C-alpha cells in the first residue's frame, strides 16, 4: 500500500470535508457521504496499521450505494456535471475525465462487490488468489479519492 503514503495528508482534509458535508437533511445523500468517508478511513487506518487486505475488504461498505440505487437517488445531488481535468489530482485518474458522479459511484460499487466476491470464492481470504488484489484495492482507493475530490470541487 505504498501508493497511499503520499496521499495521507490531503486525505485527512477530504475526510474532514466529507464529515461537514454529511450534515444534510437528505438521508440518502448523507448515507452516501458517510459511507465514502468511512471507506476512506478504512484505507487510512489500514495503511497506518499495515492491515491485511482480507480485513480491509471486510470493512469496506457499499450498502448506501445500493440503497441509493434502489431508491432511484439522483447522484447529481452529490455533485452535478462531469469530472474535469482540474478536479483530477492523480494521473491514474485522468481516464475518468468526462465521467459523471453516477458512473464513478457505479464503478466503486462494482469493485467493492468484486473484491468481496473474490474473498468469498476463496474460503474467506484473498491471500492465495491469482487476481492482483493490491492493484484492485489501489484502483478502488483512487476512485474513492477522486469521488471525494469531485464532490469537494467548487465548494
pLDDT at 8: 54
CA angle 103, 45, 55 (to 5 degrees): 75
Model confidence band, residue 7 (pLDDT cutoffs 50, 70, 90): low
What digits encode the pLDDT tens for the residues 121-150? 999 999 999 999 999 999 999 999 999 999
Q: Which three cell numbers stand for residue 137?
A: 484495492
In the chain, where the domains are located: 2-152
Instruction: Using alpha carbons, select from 99, 102, 91 the residue that is nearest to residue 68.
Output: 102
What is the average pLDDT across 108-127? 97
Q: What is the pLDDT of residues 32-43, one digit of tens each?
A: 999 999 999 999
Please tell me the predicted confidence (pLDDT) of residue 37.
95
Report CA torsion sign: 83, 87, 101, 99. positive
Specify whether the CB–CB gap between 99 and 78 falls below 8 A. Answer: no
pLDDT in tens, 44-60: 999 889 999 999 999 99
Amino acid at each position: 500500500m505504498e501508493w497511499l503514503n503520499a496521499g495521507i495528508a490531503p486525505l485527512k482534509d477530504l475526510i474532514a470535508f466529507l464529515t461537514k458535508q454529511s450534515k444534510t437533511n437528505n438521508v440518502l445523500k448523507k448515507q452516501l457521504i458517510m459511507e465514502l468517508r468511512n471507506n476512506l478511513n478504512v484505507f487510512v487506518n489500514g495503511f497506518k496499521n499495515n492491515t491485511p487486505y482480507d480485513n480491509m475488504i471486510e470493512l469496506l461498505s457499499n450498502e448506501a450505494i445500493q440503497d441509493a440505487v434502489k431508491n432511484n437517488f439522483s447522484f447529481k445531488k452529490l455533485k452535478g456535471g462531469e469530472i474535469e481535468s482540474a478536479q483530477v489530482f492523480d494521473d491514474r485518474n485522468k481516464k475518468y475525465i468526462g465521467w459523471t458522479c453516477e458512473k464513478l459511484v457505479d464503478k466503486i460499487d462494482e469493485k467493492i462487490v468484486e473484491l468481496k466476491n473474490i474473498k468469498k470464492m476463496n474460503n474467506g481470504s484473498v491471500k492465495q488468489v491469482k487476481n492482483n488484489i493490491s492493484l484492485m484495492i489501489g484502483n478502488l482507493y483512487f476512485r474513492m479519492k477522486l469521488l471525494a475530490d469531485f464532490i469537494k470541487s467548487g465548494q
